[in-house]
Structure 1
Amino acid sequence: MISVSQFVSALRSTGLWTSDPRLRDCMRHLRQSMRESAGTVMVDQKLFRKCVGANILLLTQAFRRKLIIPDFEVFASNMDQLYYSTQRQEGGHVADYIPQLAKFSPNLWGVSLCTVDGQRHSAGDTKVPFCLQSCVKPLEYAIAVHEIGTEHVHRYVGKEPSGLKFNQLSLNDEDKPHNPMVNAGAIVISSLLKVRGFLGVPVILKATVCICIQSFQSEKETGDRNFAIGYYLKEKKCFPENADMIAALDFYFQLCSIEVTCESGSVMAATLANGGICPITGERVLSAEAVRNTLSLMHSCGMYDFSGQFAFHVGLPAKSGVSGAVLLVVPNVMGIMCWSPPLDRVGNSVRGIHFCQNKSVVNLMFAAYSGDVSALRRFALSAVDMEEKDYDSRTGLHVASAEGEPTYFGGIILFSHITCTSPYCSHCNSSVSALV
């Protein structure tokens, strides 16, 4: 038998949190047993059956390491290393054109992730609430497609990158906003939802968020540009019949003012990664079509004027906001929410961009640690720098040799013809034949 604390510790090591709604019954039985007993409570056969009864499939997969990330502790450690290396990044300025945003400290930095199986990890300031701002645009678009349909939505909004600033007074050659990720497109989609009587907080957001009234007021008081866009759209007859432009703008400001934390935001991202099914409730909140369209637009248009560069260097769907948030989706694997208020010249979080661009370091190190030669082959063929170093100046070659993975070590030599130069590597002067 093991103690309750050992059972909970083993559970957490799989990446599942004790607050996971799917484990509510399990944790209730454990707490009840601890209240009824004095001293250390052991998980005997009877208690074990009570705990796992309603969660047998999930817990079996977790303890057998059959979840999407099998060795979650190693993965989380790698994420922490990347978090701390990114924390040292400086530069950028906190957005001050919306007074509420200007109040945040530039030192705030948080990263949370949630996998499609509900494994979760957080580092840094992940419980501090902040407004979604433009990160709400892909969620708004996904809800519109889910509720109204792709064909109807794209009668009013285009699908192409604009090549212009996100708040530009510009339409495409069909007199429609270029895409849903720019302000004009998001305002038109807000009008579509309002006309359909969509008044509440989106289902994907309901459990963990609220609207920040102060931010909403700030948005309205300083939103001259958005009002100008609204009147321009009205002049060009971009709104659906019977739409109220002022009401649509009001709704748009409310959506931008929705408050989340990195932790709740990562679940939203994971819902997109999981094809529209929330990973911690199992509830379908978005159709597969809505998610597919949303991820395509995030990939091509999600990062303001940096979208092309981000798609080229990172290759994953993402959306940024001027609050300093970056919502990143790894399809079929996980969702990540990064947040740090200082922004670069195009309005993206300095730390968030650096974190996303350096994800290849984590991929390479984790593959080296686990001896995943097929992953190595993918990295080499996709032109990942095989001499990339981690926080400790170690290359994949060094990690592979240190972990006793001769096949991987030889694979690195075969695929990339590199030499380990780390001062900490004891194998650098060894012959390859001795290791392979």
Structure 2
Amino acid sequence: MSMGDRSWSLLQYATEQAPIPMDGYTAEEAAQFKDVIRQRIVDDLKSMTGEELIELVKENAAKVVEEKAETQAATPTPVDGAKRIQDDADLIDAGIIAEMVAGLCTKSQKETFVKVITKYISHREQEQRNAEDVLFDMFASEETGLISMGKFLNGLKTTGIRRNDPRVRELMDNLKKVHKLNNYETGSSAETQHLNRETFKAVVAPNIVLIAKAFRQQFIIPDFSSFVKDIEEIYCRCKTNTLGKIADYIPQLTRYCPESWGVSICTVDGQRFSIGDVEEPFTLQSCSKPLTYAIALEKLGPKVVHSYVGQEPSGRNFNELVLDQNKKPHNPMINAGAILTCSLMNALVKPDMTSAEIFDYTMSWFKRLSGGEYIGFNNAVFLSEREAADRNYALGFYMRENKCFPKRTNLKEVMDYYFQCCAMETNCEAMSVIAASMANGGICPTTEEKVFRPEVIRDVLSIMHSCGTYDYSGQFAFKVGLPAKSGVSGGMMLVIPNVMGIFAWSPPLDDLGNTVRGVQFCEELVNMFNFHRYDNLKHLSNKKDPRKHRYETKGLSIVNLLFSAASGDVTALRRHRLSGMDITLADYDGRTALHLASSEGHLECVKFLLEQCHVPHNPKDRWGNLPVDEAENFGHSDVVEYLKSWAEKTVAAPECTPEAVTTKTEADEVSSVQRVTAATPPKPTQDITNCNQTFQELCSTSDLDRSPNSSPIPTESGSGHSSPAPSEAGSTVSIASDDKTKPGL
């Protein structure tokens, strides 16, 4: 059970019994704790989301666990004390909450403290119950009153969450248990079951937070289906590229098929998509270099590591026999720098380990970073690479001559370890998770394990950005503007910080040793999306931003328009008009730019809107007010006079219904038509009155009823106070598949 599920009972336990002493509190104060700490936390928590509160709790975990261990070592727990301690997990979690509560106020502020926490936790648990009910109603059959789990899991897949995701393991395990208990027919799948409401709620309860977040489109890529469709288009264009040839200086690499082409994507929220030959195994080669460099940084720190290897692009070939002016390899991404990094692993990180142990140790890091995906070893490539390693051995001897290695370095062991790292075998699926872990600051998105410190990832990505694609690094940084690392086996690892990791694999290479299709894919990606680090996000751009909801992008434009009108900025209004923007757009209350300009008394803006933009003079807002009514209410007689004279000149213009800020899908409109009127906003459903947005407005069932390939996630979301407007209907999207080689369901 997660902390969110038990937080209310644990809070009571922490405040009433205080398992860990809190400095500055007497026994009497502790007894009164629950009643006197009602209000202080209001200001702190009003600005915090639920996730931020839980993170605040987790931040105190290490300190509390250490204090608990010290307390137990100093004072053994009495036998009767065990009666009030349910288990160690409860004690630790309760201590964390108590520490958090104590840390948010000073002793002088103890008079005002925890009402908001209790209210928040109660609301959170109610919201969880509401989410389970709404999910059931969304997917349940009207005829049988049961929910098809296959239909539900397919809907979850459209958001990017796969059935084999470690974060929904409890859901899948519960399905198997229910399948076994119900004695389903032999050969039937646990995923084809039809469950009633109570069973469904029990099955999804352990993972409801993640599932609710997925269906509410709260991941980094909210409209994942549309994003997948764009990726498929880029993939197909790159597939026709037949340039380049396979590397032949390592004999085993020539056996790859030149037609092989696969792309895998994993976001920082664990959304997955793969297309092409994504399960075909290949060796890491140079893609292992940033990973071994990261391990060295994690264990030794940047000061030690960069006393042996530099940080500058070499401007030379990746296996050039050259050092910098300080007699060090230029950077860890070229062969000389990677060999030296391996020597640091051998001599400084784990000097007591044997060659076999250091190899296993390194592989364990790679597996943790990949979230348990496939990481293996290709002995044939290792032997082939070692037999054709004259240049690499020359680099090793040259560095040993210049005293580059740390003391007690065994060059033969270092070279074997370097070849072993290059010969580690993987696939696109695993490497996309590794890239996503780097995009996520060193935290694996699928297991949520913290593998590297953020400072380590920052340094690794900096080197990848400037030195990751051999002699093409400068042009790649100019055109793509993202950290990447390529390898001669045909791999290309691309990291979009705080967004996603991408791995593309195709064996044919260009003259500089980079995969031809991989480079083309990266360049087309940033041409379509504003992922380039220097794409200006503040000004208009013809590039897509998949991180935003469609309604959010439109809403920002309307906000700018209305603020310009409210502030009387005619120049800004003129700029909006020249950009082709619809000046008649309104917010969710139906208030247009003319309403705002009239209420603020900006006559010049009113004249510009009517005379130059030709907007209707009589749009009604939600409350039935016209612009002239706004001017009268706020005493702007000159604006009133002008609007009335304009109305007299206008020949019986019909009333205008401005376009709403947000729109919904056609299915949303059908489902909402009975509860939405032209004058008043819809009331939230009884089950989820306390929620900020209703689930039904974010997820529509009719899409699923229409086609099995249709996404249950609407492409545009609206708030509970929006007037529904139809959008494009009947479109189908490609969805991430569990077989990982096909884009469809």
Specify if TM > 0.5.
yes
The equivalent residue for 1:239 is 405
**What is the distance in 2 between the residues matched to 1:15 and 1:100?**
35
Which amino acid counterpart does residue 203 of structure 1 have in structure 2? S
Aligned match of 1:113 in 258, 265, 268?
265
Asked if 2 retains the 8 angstrom alpha-carbon contact of 1:79 and 1:362, the reply is no
- 3-state SS of the aligned residue for 1:326? strand
Shift of 1:28: 1.5
Which piece of structure 1 moves more, 24-33 or 290-299?
Answer: 24-33
Are residue 333 (structure 1) and residue 499 (structure 2) matched?
yes
The equivalent residue for 2:469 is 303
**What is the distance in 2 between the residues matched to 1:222 and 1:242?**
26
Which amino acid counterpart does residue 205 of structure 1 have in structure 2? F
Aligned match of 1:165 in 317, 321, 324?
317
**What is the distance in 2 between the residues matched to 1:62 and 1:406?**
24
- 3-state SS of the aligned residue for 1:111? strand
Shift of 1:433: 8.9
Say which structure is richer in strand: 1
Shift of 1:59: 1.2
Shift of 1:244: 0.8
- 3-state SS of the aligned residue for 1:16? coil
Aligned match of 1:205 in 363, 366, 388?
366
- 3-state SS of the aligned residue for 1:169? coil
Shift of 1:204: 3.7
Which amino acid counterpart does residue 75 of structure 1 have in structure 2? F
**CA spacing shift, 1:60–1:174, aligned 2, 3 Å:** same
The equivalent residue for 1:230 is 396
- 3-state SS of the aligned residue for 2:529? helix
- 3-state SS of the aligned residue for 1:100? helix
What is the TM-score normalised by the length of structure 2?
Answer: 0.50
**What is the distance in 2 between the residues matched to 1:216 and 1:379?**
49
- 3-state SS of the aligned residue for 2:274? strand
Which amino acid counterpart does residue 332 of structure 1 have in structure 2? N
Which amino acid counterpart does residue 377 of structure 2 have in structure 1? I
Which amino acid counterpart does residue 27 of structure 1 have in structure 2? M
The equivalent residue for 2:246 is 94
The Cα offsets for residues 359-415 of structure 1, whole Å up to 9 and x where unpaired, read as 134327x9xxxxxxxx9973967xx7x4x9x9xxxxxxxxx9xxx99969xx9xx79
**CA spacing shift, 1:98–1:49, aligned 2, 3 Å:** same
Asked if 1 retains the 8 angstrom alpha-carbon contact of 2:488 and 2:515, the reply is yes
The equivalent residue for 1:144 is 296
**What is the distance in 2 between the residues matched to 1:347 and 1:75?**
30
The Cα offsets for residues 192-230 of structure 1, whole Å up to 9 and x where unpaired, read as 001132442343422320111011001100011100001
**What is the distance in 1 between the residues matched to 2:528 and 2:179?**
39
Are residue 215 (structure 1) and residue 377 (structure 2) matched?
no
The equivalent residue for 2:153 is 8
**CA spacing shift, 1:204–1:58, aligned 2, 3 Å:** farther
Q: Which structure 1 segments of 5+ residues have no match?
A: 367-374, 391-399, 420-431
Are residue 22 (structure 1) and residue 167 (structure 2) matched?
yes
Asked if 1 retains the 8 angstrom alpha-carbon contact of 2:291 and 2:366, the reply is no
The equivalent residue for 2:277 is 125
**What is the distance in 1 between the residues matched to 2:314 and 2:525?**
27
Q: How many pairs align?
A: 397
- 3-state SS of the aligned residue for 2:503? strand
The equivalent residue for 1:135 is 287
What is the TM-score normalised by the length of structure 1?
Answer: 0.84
The equivalent residue for 1:424 is none
Aligned ranges for residues 363-374 of structure 1 at < 5 Å?
363=529
**What is the distance in 2 between the residues matched to 1:282 and 1:136?**
22
The equivalent residue for 1:43 is 195
**CA spacing shift, 1:380–1:349, aligned 2, 3 Å:** farther
| Highest RCO, 1 vs 2 (Cα 8 Å, sep ≥ 6) | 1
RMSD: 2.9
The equivalent residue for 2:204 is 52
- 3-state SS of the aligned residue for 2:286? helix
- 3-state SS of the aligned residue for 1:85? helix
The equivalent residue for 2:417 is 251
**What is the distance in 2 between the residues matched to 1:309 and 1:433?**
48
- 3-state SS of the aligned residue for 2:232? helix
Which amino acid counterpart does residue 129 of structure 1 have in structure 2? P
Asked if 1 retains the 8 angstrom alpha-carbon contact of 2:343 and 2:406, the reply is yes
The equivalent residue for 2:329 is 177
- 3-state SS of the aligned residue for 2:221? coil
The Cα offsets for residues 2-24 of structure 1, whole Å up to 9 and x where unpaired, read as 21111111110110110111111
Aligned match of 1:356 in 495, 511, 522?
522
The equivalent residue for 1:425 is none
Aligned ranges for residues 388-403 of structure 1 at < 5 Å?
none
Which piece of structure 1 moves more, 162-171 or 353-362?
Answer: 353-362
**CA spacing shift, 1:376–1:101, aligned 2, 3 Å:** closer
- 3-state SS of the aligned residue for 1:136? helix
Which amino acid counterpart does residue 378 of structure 1 have in structure 2? L
**What is the distance in 2 between the residues matched to 1:143 and 1:376?**
31
